Amino acid sequence: SVLDMCAAPGSKTFQLLEIIHRSNQPGSLPSGMVVANDVDVQRSNLLIHQMKRMCTANLIVTNHEAQNFPGCRLSKFHHRSSDVELTKDLSIDQLLFDRVLCDVPCSGDGTLRKAPDIWRKWNTGMGNGLHSLQIKIALRGMSLLKVGGRMVYSTCSMNPVENEAVVAEILQRCGDSVELLDVSDELPQLVRRPGLKKWKVRDKGLWLSSY
């Protein structure tokens, strides 16, 4: 099970569904599912429209604030192979996810080359204003993750306040319950560079070296 917390317009959700279907045996339906969430109603409608191309039953689309994404509970069903009977158990389990994609709202300054209109509204304080929301969304994603599961945190920004600073805050708050994974061996062709360990923050005309 995968949760895409800020899914619209749906390109990453589509890739997740492709992976679920690709990993299944030919001729059989996959048992996994993707829950794709977005806070914006119009963008959620766009997400649904995009996902129609996949023609899959393994998708649930929700419309919630990611930082307040509600807990989901599932009834247990048991299948008896002898008489093909489904019986419902009265016990209820909370749905936790094997994987969580946390592609949070951001300033988008990493997309300036393809979206030059961002320059007209961009300013140095945008990352500061989004930092708190990004942390809240990421922490909610962590709380919905199974033990041993993985969460990917991503943005379209190059601002360390929206990236390294958020990850550092998550690690500090969660302590030993989470760890940062090195996936170099799993993604050898991904171009990367080490993250920043210190950065300056401009706020109200001042430069702060610790944030």
Q: Where are the domains of the chain?
A: 2-208
Binding residues: 6-12, 38, 103
The closest of 19, 39, 57 to 152, measured between CA atoms, is 19
What does the pLDDT average to over 102-116? 92
Percent of the chain with pLDDT over 90: 61
State the Cα–Cα distance between residues 199 and 202, nearest whole angstrom: 10
Percent of the chain with pLDDT over 70: 89
Give the residue carrying structure tokens 């993750």.
Answer: 145
Angle at 69 between CA 128 and CA 47, to 5 degrees: 90
Under CATH, which number does the domain 2-208 receive? Answer: 3.40.50.150
Token duo for residue 185:
């061996």
- Return the active site residues: 156
What's this model's pTM, rounded to 2 decimal places? 0.86
Query: Which run of H or of E encompasses 121?
Result: helix 118-121
pLDDT the model gives residue 122: 87
Binding residues for S-adenosyl-L-methionine: 6-12, 38, 103
Q: How confident is the model at residue 87 (pLDDT cuts 50, 70, 90)?
A: low
The closest of 147, 204, 202 to 174, measured between CA atoms, is 147
Q: What is the per-residue pLDDT across 177-189, written as a single tens digit (0 to 9) for each?
A: 999 999 889 989 9
Neighbouring residues of 133: CB distance < 8 A, sequence distance ≥ 6: 67, 104, 105
Q: What is the per-residue pLDDT across 35-50, written as a single tens digit (0 to 9) for each?
A: 999 999 999 999 999 9
The closest of 2, 37, 27 to 17, measured between CA atoms, is 2
Token duo for residue 150:
């993985």
